[in-house]
Structure 1
């Protein structure tokens, strides 16, 4: 029992590292209306049933023995039905096999329209990539998700579509000697335009590391547009989209210790404002695909 609890805890932490919050887990459960042993579709669009991961020998083997194999973490995260306490429910495929790789760079799959397709990196599928860039048919895109390739989503690309052919490159394995997950895992989300919404009002002092980031422009002297988390005396981690493509605005101040940013509201807070010295977006941030959306702010 103790060994299983450790594995379940590791799996739950893995899901959080991959960017899946309690909120999105509940949303997926409500959206799929899943329960134990109910039908579901796996990340590769195969038929499956939603069961406790202890009852799915395939996924349990991935979790215990193969979780560092490329693509396994992302597959387990996408296969999640929901969790309840230490119990994790996963969409277990009826046919006990999963292909993470294939010689031609894609495996057979079925598109949401029921036509045959190939599971490839979305960058190689011009039809679905065009939908993503134009932000069209988002539900179709989500239903087409069949896995991940490093930080990019893989989609079931229709066989009639123009699939770009590339020469496979040898994969470099990240250093697994440390306790922290590799850079190919953390900070990524499998849901385009994922947002945190419908939260609960915070009490004074509940989240002391939270930071509000203030901007100024020729038309407005102060506008609180973004937030972040204080990770050191002078450093705040935030989103890359808060730093790049912000037009004539300039991020110039960070507010700490506040509860309500409206100065007219008596919230008993005693906030402080600290000037921003520098803001840097991650060099691999992709605003079109919403990947690696992270940045660092240095305070004076």
Structure 2
């Protein structure tokens, strides 16, 4: 009995080794067949390694009292001192609140506006008008935030077009200084970002809609479905995996919203509402020559982003929707 078991185990091991060799041969065969594509992708892989992964070596200074004149090896090791200082800073939590608040608003309204706009464009049957509308809609994406911020500030000034319209419609009695009211700042940033990026973000949803089988729409029309019902029961379910994947990617960048919008649209009156993590790192880290402290902030952002991606990817995986990993 023991001999039969040993022989069976030996055959199993032998079969596994043969299968492994076969897979190895198939892998090298595929590499040889696709060597042209691999060579084309190689420069981009090298670029990513140099500019995205090599700088991670610099994370070591977050655990040092880094001095540029001493370098990596001459600086004193302090462990988690800078992380402790970071979490003891009240201003850090203000920046974190603002970052998550504006990031969350941008995520919700940005996603909804992009999907809605893509659905509306997909329903346009006049192709020339559709192409014209799509082109005009994504042009703001290429406009600098410096220009956009100037347009927004001028439009929302007491003598701007927004106040003039509101007064002509008898909605207000006197002009409102929107840019000097901290309660309006998050909304102004969100609306500005939505206006600038909706057309560009809708492109991928439109591309996904073009792959939907048109026979499904024809069958729905035969059954008497309206356009709204077709969008609800055919278009949205078909692009749901794309929506989930893009949502997961956006959630991963929830804390990486940049600081250009906040810096250009902000002023001294709304400074507390405009302070975000990256601006905090710039002003209280690099700006004050606290390189280790600034690096600790960067590590915190990266860890939070990874955690958010993993959590929401796991949720999507369990629900059977689109996923990244």
TM-score normalised to structure 1 length: 0.24
Bigger relative contact order (CA 8 A; separation at least 6)? 2
Counting helix residues as a fraction of each chain, which structure ranks higher? 2
**Structure number with bigger Rg:** 2
Counting strand residues as a fraction of each chain, which structure ranks higher? 1
